[in-house]
């Protein structure tokens, strides 16, 4: 049994750092002398990433009336912070693409993640949060720790999956029991290693027990609810088969009416197929 | 006032609040009467609902939930109970999600409800 989540990541080269490109985009955005055109040029150097971003910007995800055909234009219309969040989401999904995993299909895993990301983005819009793309990315990443569990301790992870099925228990609780910590803790260690914003770290760590979030309770509550919505919609799973319990305090914190749930589900439904196709092209192949 | 789904919004209804797109840009301000063209534009910008004057959200949800519940097949209900076994069905948000789940799972021919009432 691993002693702490970090043990699963040490020496794991494939996932130890984010693609170079992401830190280059980061540097470009942080540099006040870089214009939007310069940032566009940096992104354009990675033709695969540029193509993926342009497909997203031209999809139902945004629903712009006319075609956006260059990255420079995409930067202007969508914004630098927003484009960076999307670049992060697609880079991470791309990173895990070639890694085989027998416990849950990658298709199912990312479908749940995309559904959660879309729901989080939609809820964020209802709350008039400024960078809703960041919530999309947080939703994409929320269960990333589970992927590490499946890859690094497949026997323990399988045991947890089987017990949760046989006993009807919540998977994250069984994980804590069998592995010593849950996928949230592993995801947190991973995100920490990638030096991503602290808000993402808290969301990933506490989306199942949002009371633990001290600095970013709103962000965490949004992904907590989005995760539940994704489970209700039954679009793929990362291993959990039950609708996770809603933490009442976190729901109250958001100040949303129950009336937003139906339109949120409609909106996710509307964007889901196309977004899955865009973010993870092989899912439908 | 109450939130109404875009499918249920009819020309002539009056907005109780501004309608904004995903980025927060205002498409039509409160107090305007909605026309067919407005609804088309709302759809184009991904708007899915609007706050309409004189609509009570509770009334809508009662009407919407009645037909599905009464004809719900036992299978769907059992499945729903199992999936929601860790959820608190007394909580209003969870209750709504449970309703939406069964609505999604129910066979299409039981969806005869008139949402707008």
Q: What's the complex ipTM? A: 0.87
CA distances from A194 to A20, A92, A200, B31, B97 (A): 11, 11, 11, 49, 35
Domain range spanning residue B10? 2-52
| DSSP for residue A211 | G
Whether B117 maps to a domain, the answer reads no
Interchain proximity B84–A170, CB inside 8 Å: no
- Whole-prediction pTM: 0.79
Question: Are B11 and B39 a contacting pair, CB within 8 Å?
Answer: yes
B62 and B103 in a single domain? The answer is yes
B70 and B101 in a single domain? The answer is yes
Helix, strand and coil in chain B, % to nearest 5: 45, 15, 40
Q: Give the residue on A whose Cα is nearest the Cα of B42.
A: A63
| DSSP for residue A210 | G
Q: Which of A154, A174, A155, A177 is nearest to A164 (CA)?
A: A174
Contacts of B57 in chain A (CB under 8 A): 257, 259
The Cβ of residue A264 has, within 10 Å, a number of other Cβ atoms equal to 26
Query: Tens place of pLDDT for every residue, chain A, 285 residues?
Result: 778 999 898 878 778 788 888 889 989 989 999 998 899 999 999 888 898 889 989 988 888 888 999 999 999 888 888 888 888 988 888 888 767 777 888 889 999 999 999 999 999 999 999 888 889 999 999 999 999 999 899 999 999 999 999 999 999 999 999 999 999 999 999 999 998 989 999 999 999 999 999 999 999 999 999 999 999 999 999 999 999 999 999 999 999 988 899 999 999 999 999 888 887 765 444
Question: Are A107 and A283 a contacting pair, CB within 8 Å?
Answer: yes
Tokens of B22: 């995903």
Distance from the B15 Cα atom to the nearest Cα atom in chain A, whole angstroms: 17
Interchain proximity A246–B85, CB inside 8 Å: no
In total, how many domains does chain B have? 2
Contacts of B59 in chain A (CB under 8 A): none
Helices A261-279 + A80-95 axis angle, to 10: 60
**Size (chain A), residues:** 285
Tokens of B43: 């759809």
B79 and B44 in a single domain? The answer is no
Domains of chain A with CATH codes: 5-284 (1.10.3210.10)
| DSSP for residue A45 | T
């Amino acid at each position: 049994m691993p002693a702490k989540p970090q043990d699963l990541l040490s020496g794991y080269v494939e996932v130890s750092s984010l693609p170079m490109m992401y830190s280059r985009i980061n540097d470009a955005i942080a540099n006040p002398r870089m214009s939007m055109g310069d940032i566009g040029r940096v992104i354009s150097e990675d033709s695969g990433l540029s193509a993926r971003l342009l497909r997203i910007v031209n999809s139902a995800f945004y629903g712009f009336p006319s075609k956006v055909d260059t990255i420079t234009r995409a930067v202007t219309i969508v914004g630098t912070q927003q484009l960076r969040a999307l670049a992060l989401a697609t880079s991470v999904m791309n990173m895990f693409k070639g890694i085989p995993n027998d416990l849950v299909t990658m298709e199912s895993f990312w479908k749940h993640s995309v559904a959660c990301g879309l729901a989080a983005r939609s809820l964020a819009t209802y709350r008039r949060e400024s960078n809703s793309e960041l919530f999309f990315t947080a939703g994409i990443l929320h269960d990333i720790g589970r992927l590490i569990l499946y890859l690094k301790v497949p026997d323990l992870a399988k045991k947890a999956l089987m017990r949760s099925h046989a006993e009807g228990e919540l998977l994250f609780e069984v994980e804590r029991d069998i592995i010593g910590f849950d996928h949230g803790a592993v995801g947190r260690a991973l995100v920490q290693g990638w030096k991503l914003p602290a808000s993402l770290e808290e969301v990933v760590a506490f989306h199942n027990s949002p009371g633990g979030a001290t600095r970013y309770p709103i962000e965490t509550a949004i992904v907590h609810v989005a995760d539940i919505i994704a489970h209700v919609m039954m679009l793929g799973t990362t291993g959990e088969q039950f609708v996770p319990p809603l933490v009442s305090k976190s729901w109250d914190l958001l100040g949303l009416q129950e009336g937003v749930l139906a339109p949120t589900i409609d909106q996710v439904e509307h964007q889901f197929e196309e977004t899955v196709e865009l973010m993870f092209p092989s899912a439908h192949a | 006032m109450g939130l109404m789904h875009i499918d249920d919004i009819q020309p002539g209804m009056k907005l109780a609040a501004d309608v904004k797109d995903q980025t927060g840009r205002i498409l039509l301000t409160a107090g305007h009467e909605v026309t067919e063209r407005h609804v088309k534009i709302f759809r184009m910008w991904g708007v899915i609902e609007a706050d309409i004057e004189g609509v009570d959200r509770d009334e809508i949800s009662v009407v919407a939930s009645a037909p599905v519940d009464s004809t719900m097949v036992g299978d769907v209900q059992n499945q729903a109970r199992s999936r929601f076994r860790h959820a608190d069905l007394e909580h209003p948000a969870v209750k709504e999600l449970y309703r939406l789940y069964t609505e999604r799972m129910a066979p299409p021919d039981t969806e005869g409800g008139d949402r707008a009432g």
